Structure 1
């Protein structure tokens, strides 16, 4: 085994391990790599990607496995490979630089840095040879080396200017972090009107192709509709949710959503399945079902939860990050069908029936005459559909399967825990609750170091050394509070409190009142990142705000609510200008406006379980619901007991409670 393979073979990241046998002499991100670059007087070639990234695999096959190109790269650079999911802080800084330098970003991201970390060249995917007006990767490397040799002063100037630009954008609020005020009712109504202007009334969703699931925007719209009764919000929710669930982006055989649709109609996905998308969408569809009893929404919730428990759960009880887009190097090969393949599995009559109902055509909706499976209308024979679905799912399980990224990411597992815990109680599925508790226990054990710091990732039950970022702390703290809510075990309150205390102590920007994405004791980067805009997951600031407002509701401590208000205020300028990119912060703003409502369900047994479910059916924005036995050591339970020996629900705001009720109908009223 080569020296390079020995080095990357110690990585916890499956993405880095995919490169362990490259002839490129990869280093992991760290001081040693930059010290070596300074010693050799060569630049650092930073390559950032992730395990489920299609074009990352392509560039690896074309360039990083090429011995000649690798030899040149090793001679003239210190090559550094980063998994963006392990190091979102590194990715954020250099993606912002890439966008500033080129006007666009994406993965694989290719950035050339000075030995002090300043970027002076950036791009994304490069083909091995010139193609479609793109230079070949070898040409790019040669040009960079020539510039490094002959124009070192220009490199220093450009690198310095880029870092100054990023730092100035932070301090000026042009990059996120600028101050603001917590949005009020009129602001939130205006955000809905702005969203309506960008809404695709024909296909659902926002904008054109490619189209991403607007998970956090849906949650905001659900809360807005609950507060105001807005038909405009309700219409956008229902149209989008149905279109996504019936299109090819949703797995009609086994549940779960693909990453995004390459078209505007949700027909053809980019086939990778990410944990975070499915956790966020599970919760959004659960809240849609809670709102109107939608049969489609309930089916999606159950199927998506079952997908998590079947396809993504790890032996340790956490949830793996993703399933690849590719199968044996071919994107989507596991998931697409031809009419003949349907007939082969189902027989001629059922095959033709399935083709009509799943929109599988001779021309195909994907590549090479294949089609994704869509379910635009409900089949007219449910029993026949269930037989067809099961036979097709069985046949598909015999196909080669996409690789799984075994990495457990703290924030994404936190999202899954929160969704499963709530779904388990609402749908009376104890297996979902049990899975949530086990995954939360993994986070509390494996992902927490001796000093109480969160660790970002683990694999096979072993944590990496990558420290958690703000989204990890926020999502995991909220998950702990969700587990507290369904178990009544006060240990989860103390765990959530410890994380939120670290947020306030180590992530706060004392000048603006907002939050940085990295802790003050985390390894330094050329710029300390801070971004209040949602991406595929809630921003760190909005994740922290959601946890802080919930903890404030459970404990009655104003400092947590005040922290949430500061986080939401820091996002307000973006949220009110571009609400599509701040749905999570707007959702927290709705919770703050509503109180949020606090519900303590006191008691044990079936009566308490029924009350607990009824409490969770309340759609007051951001309602915090806890269930536990009398005497539970949680502030919200203090002084609250059974009523005439029966389980009781106390509905409160700011710890001021209405008369306790013992009847679910009275609770709903």
Structure 2
């Protein structure tokens, strides 16, 4: 694996986000602890704490065994607001730090680098508390890693009452129990460990048959949770639920269900108009704290923007809404400008806090708008973005929309083009002032899995918008990941950071998400090298992650560090289930490459999780999308043509801009390269007829007669 260079300038654009915490600049601070040399920004942010932190590793675990002290495990991530709060209140407190150092072995973990550790102990928290959990995750465990007490954020005092006791009080109670009632704690730890192992080995009973009824059941479940007034699902805090929206689009493609279409279109519109979408810079925040998408939790995560960009791209292709195209472009432009490294990989996150205040970078007062934009533009901007003197967020304003460009242009008596010119001018002026504010920190950790999701988003966006710049961005990122985060044996690493080598073994999601991204990229540019990489990764995934005894896939490889349990990743969370994405990509790859063993493995996994899809459809969106593909009909469309001919380019553009999630598209130019029959056996005996672009369409092992010429192909695809 290559070392990532650190001496090249970042991509141009404004505003620029700093890569690290102030602690990173304090290289001579004698208080800096073991975390100072870690690649994780989150860990380095704690390097100046008086707490004697260890990173997760042999040194910490050996010290716990030697000293027979309980372990305090603290898990978070760099953009986590309450993680920063607990650090300021407790981990920088010398009294609390001294108590931790005297009586515990203290381990700090970045959940984004070590999702294996986070997953185990978050599940333990849920078992211990019967609550949902969150970050910061605080766990106390025995020297042999068995958890006996857990919580999330603990304040330094009693401000929140008995349900959230002061942190030092918790520490003293745990130490007393460790010293006086250790047998009770060990009994609890053993019980929780047994429960974790039972959950991992759980075998789902006979489930419902794999049929469209499972998809219909999920659609009705989503309908019941749908917020018809504001869009989206459930109650605040409201998350975007990109996978559920993608599932509804597939249901609409299958059944032409008008309600499914409305749920998708209205939700995407409301999110794109809301404060959860950065109206100045583009890109989505993590979630909305209210029902109407107005007040976000301001952190921006790469995976959210990847999943939402892919969702908007699918909507553009399915429904042709220009508003969705606008949000898609602004989101991907934001990622290109602010979240892309000089070498092409994508950064992980931008913080919610600026100058110690959540959201300060993003909000405006009415007087600021007046002063910056002046009397000609300020009234328009305040009307369009809902800016008032009293504000909508602690006396200031989160910019948002309540109407379309066309409606706002008509309201102000402007021609649509002129309206957009003036709004663009407003954005430029406000951004120039915003760039002078204290900027939120940026986590420049580059994660293989999240890069796979964003590669897919750029590839999907390139097809939907017919934009070669977006395609080039996806290609650069794919080249970067395959060059830097893959070793000579083809195995993936989890992460890298500018100036540091790749590290940590790749997890199931790293393989599955990257396969997903490379497969989308192959369909966008048809370069066989991407497909070849997917095939190689698929072989490694099956070899090292498949459970040959009980079925499904483990989250860690068979040669991974031995942890308390070896878990399986079957539920969607903030990102898709790694198991579900593995099934999705294996199904598609099996059809493309005629690998019946992969198809059988994916089908067996779907059968195993049929009960899960029925009982928990809201956490099974990706698995249900895999089921939608499995049920078909699946069409293999082979296009053979000379890319220099206008008809060929028209055909590819037509097929790229259709929403047909169960179509697999293959293109070959006989003048460009040797036919890759070893990868794509269905190219055998496929050639241009009459020297014109020719389509071969197959379904259920039956092929139609060749279709020659753009007009005939368009009719076959869309009707006369």
What TM-score bracket applies, with the shorter chain setting the length? over 0.9
TM-score scaled by length of structure 1:
0.96
Q: Which residue of 2 aligns with 1:607?
A: 647
The match for 1:120 among 148, 159, 168 is 148
CA–CA separation in structure 2 for the residues paired with 1:464 and 1:42: 32
Specify whether residues 550 and 264 from structure 1 end up closer, same or farther in structure 2 by C-alpha distance, changes over 3 A only: same
1:64-116 superposed Cα distances (whole Å, 9 cap, x missing partner) = 11222212211211111110011111111100111111222110000011111
Question: Displacement of 1:654 after TM fit?
Answer: 5.4
CA–CA separation in structure 1 for the residues paired with 2:622 and 2:470: 24
CA–CA separation in structure 1 for the residues paired with 2:449 and 2:236: 28
Matched, 1:652 2:698: yes
1:479-515 superposed Cα distances (whole Å, 9 cap, x missing partner) = 2222222333322222111211122222122233211
Matched, 1:151 2:151: no
Matched, 1:365 2:413: no
Contact kept? 1:316, 1:460, Cα under 8 Å: no
1:328-357 superposed Cα distances (whole Å, 9 cap, x missing partner) = 211001111111111111113522332222
Matched, 1:666 2:706: no
Aligned-residue CA RMSD (Å): 1.9
Q: Which residue of 2 aligns with 1:626?
A: 666
Question: Displacement of 1:293 after TM fit?
Answer: 0.8
Question: Displacement of 1:58 after TM fit?
Answer: 0.8
Q: List aligned pairs for 1:404-553, cutoff 5 A.
A: 404-460=442-498, 462-553=500-591
Q: List aligned pairs for 1:97-108, cutoff 5 A.
A: 97-104=124-131, 105-108=133-136
Matched, 1:86 2:104: no
Q: List aligned pairs for 1:194-205, cutoff 5 A.
A: 194-205=221-232
CA–CA separation in structure 2 for the residues paired with 1:598 and 1:25: 58
The match for 2:171 among 141, 164, 188 is 141
Q: List aligned pairs for 1:115-264, cutoff 5 A.
A: 115-133=143-161, 134-173=164-203, 180=207, 183-264=210-291
Q: Which residue of 2 aligns with 1:288?
A: 315
Contact kept? 1:127, 1:135, Cα under 8 Å: yes
Q: Which runs of 5+ in 2 are unaligned?
A: 1-27
CA–CA separation in structure 2 for the residues paired with 1:386 and 1:261: 25
SS at match of 1:9: helix
CA–CA separation in structure 1 for the residues paired with 2:605 and 2:650: 35
The match for 1:575 among 583, 589, 613 is 613
Question: Displacement of 1:666 after TM fit?
Answer: 3.0
Moved more, 219-228 or 512-521: 512-521
Contact kept? 1:326, 1:333, Cα under 8 Å: yes
Question: Displacement of 1:137 after TM fit?
Answer: 1.3
Matched, 1:270 2:310: no
CA–CA separation in structure 1 for the residues paired with 2:456 and 2:359: 30
CA–CA separation in structure 2 for the residues paired with 1:608 and 1:43: 67
CA–CA separation in structure 2 for the residues paired with 1:302 and 1:140: 49
CA–CA separation in structure 2 for the residues paired with 1:497 and 1:178: 32
Specify whether residues 178 and 281 from structure 1 end up closer, same or farther in structure 2 by C-alpha distance, changes over 3 A only: farther
Matched, 1:7 2:45: no
Runs ≥4 in structure 1, deviation > 6 angstroms?
A: none
Q: Which residue of 2 aligns with 1:394?
A: 432
Contact kept? 1:44, 1:78, Cα under 8 Å: yes
Q: Tell me the number of residue pairs that the alignment of Structure 1 and Structure 2 aligns.
A: 665
Q: Which residue of 1 aligns with 2:8?
A: none
Q: Which residue of 1 aligns with 2:328?
A: 301
Specify whether residues 497 and 462 from structure 1 end up closer, same or farther in structure 2 by C-alpha distance, changes over 3 A only: farther
Q: Which runs of 5+ in 1 are unaligned?
A: none
Contact kept? 2:637, 2:696, Cα under 8 Å: yes
Q: Which residue of 2 aligns with 1:35?
A: 62
SS at match of 1:391: helix
Contact kept? 1:532, 1:570, Cα under 8 Å: no
Question: Displacement of 1:652 after TM fit?
Answer: 2.6
